[in-house]
Amino acid sequence: MKRPIFYGWYLVGLTLFLQSVGVGTTLYMYSVIASAIGSDMPSARSVLMLGSTGMLVVGALLSPFVGRLLDRHPMKWIIVGGGVALGVGFVLLGFSTRIWHVVLCYVLFMGVGLTALGSVVASTLLARWFTRYRGLAIGISALGTQFGGFAYTPMLAALIEVQDWRIAVMVMGSVILILVPVAAYLWVVDYPAQKQLEPDGEPAPPTEPAASTSGTETPADLRPALPVHKLMLQRNFIVLFIFAGSLGGMVNSAVIANLSLFATDLGESVTRGAFLVSLLAFIGLFTSPLTGWLGDRINIKIVAVGLTLLMAVASLLYSVADSYPVLLVATVFQGMAGGGFFPLWALLVARLYHLSVYGQIMGTTAVGRRGRGRPPPRAPRGGAPPSVRCSPAGSLISPTAIGWCS
Domain of 173, CATH number, reads: 1.20.1250.20
Choose the most confident range, by mean pLDDT, from 83-92, 144-153, 193-202: 83-92
pLDDT tens digits, one per residue of 103-135 = 999 999 999 999 999 888 999 999 999 988 888
pLDDT for 63 = 86
pLDDT tens digits, one per residue of 259-308 = 777 787 787 777 788 788 778 878 888 888 888 888 888 887 788 888 88
pLDDT tens digits, one per residue of 237-264 = 777 776 655 555 566 767 776 777 778 7
Is the model's pLDDT at 376 over the cut of 60? Answer: no
H/E stretch holding 313: helix 300-320
Is the model's pLDDT at 224 over the cut of 50? Answer: no
Residue 127 resides in a domain: yes
Is the model's pLDDT at 405 over the cut of 60? Answer: no
Spatial separation of the C-alpha atoms in residues 102 and 170, rounded to whole Å: 13
* Residue 201: C-alpha distances to residues 59, 98, 191, 193 (Å): 33, 52, 12, 10
* Average pLDDT over all residues of the chain: 78
Q: What is the largest CA-CA distance in the chain?
A: 67
Residue 2 resides in a domain: no
- Selection from 366, 317, 400 nearest residue 118 by Cα: 366
Is the model's pLDDT at 102 over the cut of 80? Answer: yes
Spatial separation of the C-alpha atoms in residues 384 and 315, rounded to whole Å: 9
DSSP secondary structure code for residue 202 in this structure: P
Residue 1 resides in a domain: no
Domain span at residue 277 reads: 7-402
CA angle 223, 225, 228 (to 5 degrees): 130
- Selection from 87, 86, 102, 115 nearest residue 35 by Cα: 102
Residue 150 resides in a domain: yes
* Backbone CA torsion sign across 129, 133, 134, 137: negative
- DSSP three-state, residue 244: helix
pLDDT for 99 = 87
- DSSP three-state, residue 197: strand
Mean pLDDT of 216-238: 56
**Residues contacting residue 341 through CB under 8 Å, at least 6 positions apart:** 247, 248, 252, 307
Is the model's pLDDT at 373 over the cut of 80? Answer: no
With beta carbons less than 8 A apart as the criterion, state whether 348 and 405 touch. Answer: yes
Mean pLDDT of 198-211: 63
Mean pLDDT of 10-18: 95
Supply the pTM of this predicted model.
0.73
- Selection from 36, 18, 54 nearest residue 94 by Cα: 36
- Selection from 340, 328, 162 nearest residue 259 by Cα: 328
SS (H, E, C) 140-175: HHCHHHHHHHHHHHHHHHHHHHHCCHHHHHHHHHHH
- How many domains are contained in the chain? 1
Q: Which residues pair with 203 in a beta bridge?
A: 197
Counting residues of the chain whose pLDDT is more than 90, the rounded percentage is 23
With beta carbons less than 8 A apart as the criterion, state whether 256 and 149 touch. Answer: yes
